[in-house]
Structure 1
Amino acid sequence: VTEIMFFGGLFMTYIAYRGAYPDAFAAASQKLNTTEGFINTLVLICSSLTMAMAVRCAAQGKKKAVVWLLFATMLFGLAFLGIKADEYTYKFQHHEVPGANFAPEDLNANVDHASLYFALYFGMTGLHAFHMIVGIGILCFILRGAMKGIYTPAWHTPVELFGLYWHFVDIVWIFLFPLLYLIDVHKGK
């Protein structure tokens, strides 16, 4: 519940400022790479699938499948973070990070309002990435237990509870992607 309230507050802040500065937010959103955002969405949907399958296999006592599915989930999570790191690197190289060096090229908008958009972008996606990093850390622990064979049909609660966490993080991205990347994509064409 606290995570929902926290992300909910960020979403409401974004919506309020987007309503106040629609032109600057639309122009700034055109600087995002929708292809990388879309690929990351597909990666996370695949990670949710492998996580759900891991929970099911744990409930059925399929130990080898649980290990492989948890490992696949981890790889999808790492792929997401790698793509996000590439996107962040591009933003740093092109001065699209709020601060003293903020000077995005070809931005037809108020720079201060565009800076606010990017501050929210980095804050929201950075917090999401932090949750992914924490999730991968927990996943290492869960995976180690799966390799030892401690999860059985009678007791697989850690896998199931972690699955809920993982799905929550994925759902947050399902809202972040259209809100940040797609909501104004038609204005750039």
Structure 2
Amino acid sequence: MSSSAHSAAASPGVPRLAQHFASIEVQNHAARLGMWLFLSTEILLFAGLFVCYGCYRYLFPEAFAAASRHLDLTMGTVNTVVLITSSLTAALAVHYAKEGKNGVVALMFALTIGMACIFLVIKGFEYSHKFAEGALPGPYYRMEAVQLPGVPLYFTIYFLATGLHAFHVVVGMSVLVWLMFKAMREKNFGPNNYVAVELGSMYWHLVDLVWIFLFPLLYLI
């Protein structure tokens, strides 16, 4: 295959083939494999927090149970429904990208981004409430309602886990915004060129999956 064929710009429905790949199929396989490896490192990052939570909950079961009752279950439940729904729209974006319906792809990503904004706004209200009542991490804890050893540690894990998750939400939103504008302006997604949409959706599913673990650990158990 000639160098010009490798470096040719992508036209609608035709992906760009990088020079170091033999075919589009090999390039797509490498992209998917790279994303799975990246997602595995992200899972390991959150796994460390889950292990810390499990260890300290074993040491301070009463404190963790009492502290979890001071989280807003309604807001947490609404955020869970919002994120699960956003995962559906992200999956639909991949489906419509395979059919070449770029306008619908952009719409699905716009809905996903909108629900991500709702999630962050609700989380912001939760944080402001925690700051107001003094449910802060570590030495900054000053809530008088619960005075048990281990409660400040619970809120340390709460802010670390949910804050790191919120950061990933923002990163995911940035990726989806780029894909949304790409679908709107270039209109080059199609049955032979949808891997970028697929990878962006995979990252967003990771964001949802992490929250599905955080919600019961922090709010329900």
Q: Compute the displacement of 1:91 (Å).
A: 0.6
Q: Compute the displacement of 1:100 (Å).
A: 4.6
Q: Is the 8 A contact 1:18 1:25 kept in 2?
A: yes
| Corresponding residue number in structure 1 for 2:152 | 115
| Corresponding residue number in structure 2 for 1:128 | 165
Match of 1:32, SS state, is: coil
Aligned residue pair count: 181
Match of 1:169, SS state, is: helix
Q: Is the 8 A contact 1:95 1:102 kept in 2?
A: yes
1:33 pairs, out of 61, 65, 72, with 72
- Distance across 2 between alignment mates of 1:142 and 1:12: 34
| Corresponding residue number in structure 2 for 1:166 | 204
TM-score by length of 2: 0.80
What does 1:56-75 align with in structure 2 at a 5 Å threshold? 56-75=95-114
| Corresponding residue number in structure 2 for 1:145 | 182
* 1:80 paired to 2:131: no
- Distance across 1 between alignment mates of 2:219 and 2:103: 38
Match of 1:155, SS state, is: coil
- Distance across 2 between alignment mates of 1:5 and 1:118: 21
Q: Which residue identity lines up with residue 115 of structure 1 in the other structure?
A: P
Q: Which residue identity lines up with residue 177 of structure 1 in the other structure?
A: F
Match of 2:188, SS state, is: coil
Question: Cα distance 1:154–1:173, how it changes in 2: closer, same or farther (>3 A)?
Answer: same
- Distance across 2 between alignment mates of 1:82 and 1:118: 20
Q: Which residue identity lines up with residue 124 of structure 2 in the other structure?
A: A
Q: Compute the displacement of 1:108 (Å).
A: 4.7
Match of 1:120, SS state, is: helix
Q: Which residue identity lines up with residue 173 of structure 1 in the other structure?
A: W
Runs of 4+ in 1 over 3 A off after TM superposition: none
Q: Is the 8 A contact 2:137 2:155 kept in 1?
A: yes
Q: Is the 8 A contact 1:61 1:152 kept in 2?
A: yes
- Distance across 1 between alignment mates of 2:141 and 2:153: 11
Larger radius of gyration: 2
TM-score by length of 1: 0.93
Q: Is the 8 A contact 2:138 2:156 kept in 1?
A: no
* 1:154 paired to 2:199: no
| Corresponding residue number in structure 1 for 2:28 | none
- Distance across 1 between alignment mates of 2:117 and 2:110: 11
| Corresponding residue number in structure 1 for 2:215 | 177
Q: Is the 8 A contact 1:27 1:108 kept in 2?
A: no
Q: Compute the displacement of 1:67 (Å).
A: 0.9
Q: Compute the displacement of 1:101 (Å).
A: 4.0
CA RMSD of aligned residues (A): 1.0
Q: Which runs of 5+ in 1 are unaligned?
A: 184-189
| Corresponding residue number in structure 1 for 2:13 | none
- Distance across 2 between alignment mates of 1:150 and 1:21: 54
Q: Which runs of 5+ in 2 are unaligned?
A: 1-39
Q: Compute the displacement of 1:109 (Å).
A: 2.0
| Corresponding residue number in structure 2 for 1:97 | 136
Q: Which has the higher contact order (CA 8 A, sep 6+)?
A: 1
Q: Compute the displacement of 1:42 (Å).
A: 0.1
